[in-house]
């Protein structure tokens, strides 16, 4: 499902770092060379490159890249080069500090990662920021959003295949009761969304649909402009149909006047090694245009080249 293309035969790590070092030397920077290497190495390979680069040249590769690159191209290369857990930690820290009620990054990371990947991100957060994700989310965000986001980032969900049908029925009913009463911030809605396994929630939302005639996300559309309702809908989509959630983020980012590079960069950097091919299929199904064409039409230069190389045109 990953879109990353790693050539069958790749140069040694020593050759890769020599080429990268060369790309930074002399007049100007050789961006094409940087893309041709980094956009075609997987997380493990990039990790080795970063280690060997630091040992050989006495500088973190990320610092060299930061000095040489700029703007959106810099951001995609830096985010991509980071290890997945560290990248999530950086995104979470940024999003916590600059949080607004329309920001979706925290819930996106909390709900689309596996329990193990979310835990790894929290460990990377400790190591890098000398505090916990939980305390930052809890102290920087307030009100209903805090009530929802703190348990979302804290929980360590069960991931087994077991489904309790009786429980799914009971909790579909609880959700429906509170949604019908417009009690969207009710403790029980938050408890169910933040603690049950994704498999169990899938059954609960199906049950909701069958029993009450509407998809739960549709019943949560009472007020399309309400950021809390929008957040609840995104949580549900991230938990059970992440590819649809990401397709929508990409669509909005590309269709927006001026393009939302921040969102485009984040989704590409975080999904290329996970499920980008599924997201691409979903994008085509929904827009009848290929994602790489849409991106080419909306971006330019090295940034465009890097994105297209990563999503595997």
Annotated binding residues: 24, 26, 28, 68, 254, 256, 258, 298-299, 304
Asked whether 35 and 306 are in contact (CB, 8 A), the reply is yes
Q: How far is the CB of 42 from a second copy (least distance, A)?
A: 27
Closest contact distance (angstroms) between CB of 7 and a second copy is 38
Closest separation in Å from C-beta 198 to a second copy = 11
Q: Which of 41, 87, 157, 266 binds a second copy (CB under 8 A)?
A: 157
Binding-site residue numbers for Ca(2+) are: 24, 26, 28, 68, 254, 256, 258, 298-299, 304
Gap between the Cα atoms of 86 and 310, Å rounded:
19
Contacts with a second copy, 112-151, as mask; x by CB under 8 A: -------x--xx--x---xxxxxx--xx------x---xx
DSSP assignment, residue 6?
-
Q: Is 154 an interacting residue with respect to a second copy (CB under 8 A)?
A: yes
Please report whether residue 156 would count as binding a second copy according to CB under 8 A: yes
Phi, psi of 156 (to 5 degrees): -115, 90
Task: Count Cβ atoms within 10 A of the Cβ of residue 156 and give its class: 0-12 exposed, 13-18 middle, 19 or more buried.
Answer: exposed
For residue 311 the two structure tokens come to: 């999503």
Which residue's entry shows tokens 């609840």? 232
Q: How far is the CB of 104 from a second copy (least distance, A)?
A: 21
Q: Rank residues 18 and 134 by Cβ distance to a second copy and give the closer one.
A: 134
Return the percent helix, strand and coil in the chain, to nearest 5.
70, 0, 30
Task: Output 10 or 140, the one with its CB closest to a second copy.
Answer: 140
Q: Applying CB under 8 A, does 97 fall inside the site for a second copy?
A: no
Contacts of 1 (CB under 8 A, 6+ apart): 274, 275, 276, 277, 278
d(CA 308, CA 295): 8
The whole-angstrom separation of Cα 146 and Cα 138 is 6
| Among the residue ranges 3-11, 77-85, 192-200, 251-259, the one whose residues contact a second copy (CB under 8 A) | 192-200
Provide the residue count of the chain: 313
Least distance in angstroms from the C-beta of 195 to a second copy: 4
Site for a second copy in 210-239 (CB under 8 A): none
- Out of 59, 159, 211, 223, name the contact with a second copy by CB under 8 A: 159
Cβ nearer to a second copy, comparing 157 with 237: 157
By CB under 8 A, residue 166 contacts a second copy: no
Instruction: List the interface residues with a second copy, window 1-20 (CB under 8 A).
Output: none
Residue 304 CB neighbours (<10 A):
17
- Residue 156 vs 262, nearer CB to a second copy: 156
204 binds a second copy (CB under 8 A): no
For a second copy (CB under 8 A), the number of binding residues is 29
Angstrom distances, CA of residue 305 to CA of 1, 132, 239, 286, 298: 21, 36, 31, 24, 12
Question: Does 197 participate in binding a second copy (rule CB under 8 A)?
Answer: yes
Q: With contact defined as beta carbons under 8 Å apart, do 266 and 79 qualify?
A: yes
Integer Cα distance of 211 and 175 in angstroms: 12
Residue 195 touching a second copy (CB under 8 A):
yes
Contacts with a second copy by CB under 8 A lie at 119, 122-123, 126, 130-135, 138-139, 146, 150-151, 154-160, 162, 187, 191, 194-197
């Amino acid at each position: 499902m990953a879109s990353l293309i790693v050539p069958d035969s790749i140069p040694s790590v020593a050759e890769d770092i020599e080429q990268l070092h060369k790309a930074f030397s002399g007049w100007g920077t050789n961006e094409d060379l940087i893309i041709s290497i980094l956009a075609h190495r997987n997380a493990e390979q990039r990790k080795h490159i970063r280690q060997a680069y630091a040992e050989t040249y006495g500088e973190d590769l990320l610092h060299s890249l930061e000095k040489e690159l700029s703007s959106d191209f810099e951001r995609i290369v830096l985010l991509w080069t980071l290890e997945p857990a560290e990248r999530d930690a950086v995104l979470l820290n940024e999003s916590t500090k600059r949080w607004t009620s329309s920001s979706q990054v925290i819930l996106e990371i909390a709900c689309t990662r596996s329990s193990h990947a979310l835990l790894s991100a929290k460990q990377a957060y400790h190591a890098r920021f000398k505090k916990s994700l939980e305390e930052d989310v809890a102290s920087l965000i307030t009100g209903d959003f805090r009530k929802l986001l703190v348990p979302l980032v804290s929980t360590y969900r069960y991931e087994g295949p077991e489904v309790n049908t009786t429980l799914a029925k009971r909790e579909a009913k609880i959700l429906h009761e509170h949604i019908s009463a417009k009690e969207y911030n009710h403790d029980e809605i938050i408890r169910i969304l933040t603690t049950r396994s994704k498999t169990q929630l899938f059954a609960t939302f199906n049950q909701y649909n069958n029993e009450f005639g509407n998809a739960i996300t549709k019943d949560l559309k009472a007020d399309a402009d309400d950021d809390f309702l929008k957040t609840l809908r995104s949580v549900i989509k991230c938990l059970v149909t992440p590819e649809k959630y990401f397709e929508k983020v990409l669509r909005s980012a590309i269709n927006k006047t001026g393009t939302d590079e921040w969102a485009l960069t984040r989704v590409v950097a975080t999904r290329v090694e996970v499920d980008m091919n599924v997201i691409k299929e979903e994008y085509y199904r929904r827009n009848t245009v290929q994602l790489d064409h849409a991106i080419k039409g909306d971006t330019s230069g090295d940034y465009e080249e890097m994105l297209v190389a990563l999503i595997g045109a």
